[in-house]
Structure 1
């Protein structure tokens, strides 16, 4: 997984994050910390990084016709949601209310 090193004037210590959405490991360091020290930091936390990577759910394609989990629940035994978004739509973050449940706009029950 790629490593992103980011210097921050507000940082007081080094922090390490696994960013599943962007597919990378992010290290935030205070200004002036050498890159070599940041890499040693990542190396010391190798077990933590591996555990987080192993705990990540498998990546699913978000394309037209793909069946996607709804609220983190596998819908294969229930009512799957199929993505039927508009090509060229700017965002997939629109949600519409249906009673107490929320369903992604553009995703239909099949």
Structure 2
């Protein structure tokens, strides 16, 4: 008996990634908000034939849902990339350094625009998030152990029990107030490792009116996730 496929196609045009999960209790279908990728999760005891039939029965829903998702946008020269809630045009230039010039991000013409712009966003995100986290932690009279950046798909930030903060570097693309809110949210977890009323009161004390920024992420966060930077890179 051969290995079962990790991808199937239904209706001839909908590609579905298949994942097995020993923890899953039922079959689930999810559509990624960035790009519309479809993932079918199957419990261990469910057959591939059952999974295929399940996905097939929801083909119309999948097609309608994917139609509402923003298409992936490649970060290339000439693209208008979100930055701090605005748009900047990725512009090739005779330069060795990346430099923001009004509404243009000037970058070395001989280097891939996606790699360079992603590295620049990470650099900016680290600076801004560290400043915000330091500021909010000082207000609480607390400190954190480390701050790391990742390209996460399901959360914009997290805080561990031992005080390690993690943020998505794509927050550099969001409005400044939204980035600040996520920093305040995670720092508040240094005091309350839950989402209790006390936690939300702490968030409100750190950033009054934070709910509008939380709402912005729910409404527009998928637009930031839709950007493709081709490959990962660091920034010196």
The alignment status of 1:82 with 2:89, answered yes or no, reads yes
1:22–1:10 distance in 2 versus 1, CA, 3 Å: farther
Q: TM-score if structure 1 supplies the norm length?
A: 0.64
Q: TM-score if structure 2 supplies the norm length?
A: 0.33
Counterpart of 1:61? 74
Higher strand share: 1
Counterpart of 1:107? none
Q: Is the 8 A contact 1:16 1:25 kept in 2?
A: yes
SS of 1:33 mapped into structure 2: coil
Q: How many residues align?
A: 95
1:24-63 residue pairs with structure 2 within 5 A? 24-63=37-76
1:70 CA displacement: 5.2
1:80 CA displacement: 2.9
1:101–1:20 distance in 2 versus 1, CA, 3 Å: closer
Counterpart of 1:9? 22
1:70–1:50 distance in 2 versus 1, CA, 3 Å: farther
Structure 1 unaligned spans of 5+: 74-78, 104-110
1:101 CA displacement: 2.1
Counterpart of 1:101? 176
1:30 CA displacement: 0.3
Q: Partners in 1 of 2:71 and 2:15 — Cα distance?
A: 17
SS of 2:41 mapped into structure 1: strand
Higher helix share: 2
1:55 CA displacement: 0.3
Q: Partners in 1 of 2:76 and 2:33 — Cα distance?
A: 18
